[in-house]
Amino acid sequence: MATDTSDIELTAQCLCKAQTFTAQVPRASLPLTATFCHCTSCRHLTGGMHSTSVAWPGAADAIVEAPLAEYVFSPRLTLLFCGTCSSPMFWRSRLEARADAYEAFTGVLSNNPVPGLIQVKDHIFVNDTLDGGVAVWQRHLNGDDAKDAPIPCYSDWPHKSEELDPATLSAKDPETTPDDIAVHCRCKGVSLVLRRGAADFAAMDPAKLPFFVEPGTHKLLAGFDACNSCRKMSGVDVFNWTFALLQHIDYPGGDGSFPRTTPALKTAVSSLNRDPRLGTLAMYASSADVQRYFCSRCSASVFYAVDSRPDMVDLAAGLLDSPDGARAESILVWALGLMVWMDDVKGGWREELLDAVNRNSEAWRVDRGIPRNWAVIAREERDAKAKAKAKAGAKS
């Protein structure tokens, strides 16, 4: 059988499609290798639980000439992102006596039907997570879980710090779980608090709790999202949302005046006389009934809002500044083994990656004897009923 030696056209495109870049990649150069950075700054920059990037295999000229917004991340690194929809596109790295180098965020890359197109090289700055973050569910992502070696995890920069097993990191055990958790982007242009709402939920009829509140503990659900829009907006292939009632989100030291409904939030952010406490919070309407909120200065994803759920928003889990660690397990419970919107990645290189994340998280749960998440069970029961109904309808 002849070997396919044709080049692959790789595309980097933002959510609103205003910015598109292409590169011809020789098959012989594959796989492209990605780095997952779990540092606190990257979590607050993307809104995800890390950033993910690969060396851009295309020419730099198009990037240099593009009207991309810029955020100076460090003396060496500048983030280039779409100013309309906030998609982080590239890192620009400046080194003395060398040309600028560019890395693309993998979340904005096309989902080419090429198995193993991108493989994960390492996890870095894992110590910043305090508890291992989501690196504990990402050790085996490059093939057969039973055969591939664990992806190296470094406490800091690779090869300049110790290699570690993220499972050995332990979440801090706060003496008391704070009622208010800080929520902020990297530049802190968006700075809010999440009130846990435990007392409110305890006062409710258990049968009437919001779908994202765990009965008994009243912790908030944190999930795994593979949808195309979320990955493009954040630059991260798997986005992690939690959920909150708008009545539980406020300004730091606030008086309860943060908008209480999604229509009110949309109006407040769009107003010419907006509350200055909204800071750099901006909005992009990705469809007629959906609003995606982000920081206009550093690009961080903040909220997902939809008109049919006027009292709540999806909240970017990477923005939480919980004292017990990146996974914030004092207030969150994770839907391990459930990746939603997987149909969006079917047939492309991401399918293999995201399947592996799903398997890794489920194996973690089983190994530690963690009970199956109530929301996962409920989802499976709903899916089973829907399939049974469809099957019955087909027979009639």
Give the position of tokens 């011809």: 24
User: Kind of pairing, strands 20-25 and 8-13?
Assistant: antiparallel
pLDDT tens figures, 13-40: 999 999 999 999 999 999 999 999 999 9
Average pLDDT, the chain: 93
Domain ranges of the chain: 8-168, 180-371
How does 82-95 read in b/e, with b if 16+ C-beta sit within 10 Å?
Answer: bbebbbbbbbbbee
Residue 262 per-residue DSSP state: H
pLDDT band with cut points at 50, 70 and 90 for residue 2:
very low
Report pLDDT for 124: 98
Task: Name the least confident of 51-65, 99-113, 135-149, 264-278.
Answer: 135-149
Q: What's domain 180-371's architecture?
A: Beta Complex (2.170)
- What's the CA gap between 354 and 369, in Å, rounded? 23
- What's the CA gap between 134 and 238, in Å, rounded? 11
**Options 1.25.40, 3.90.1590, 3.90.1200, 3.40.50; CATH of 8-168:** 3.90.1590
Q: What is the pTM of this model?
A: 0.94
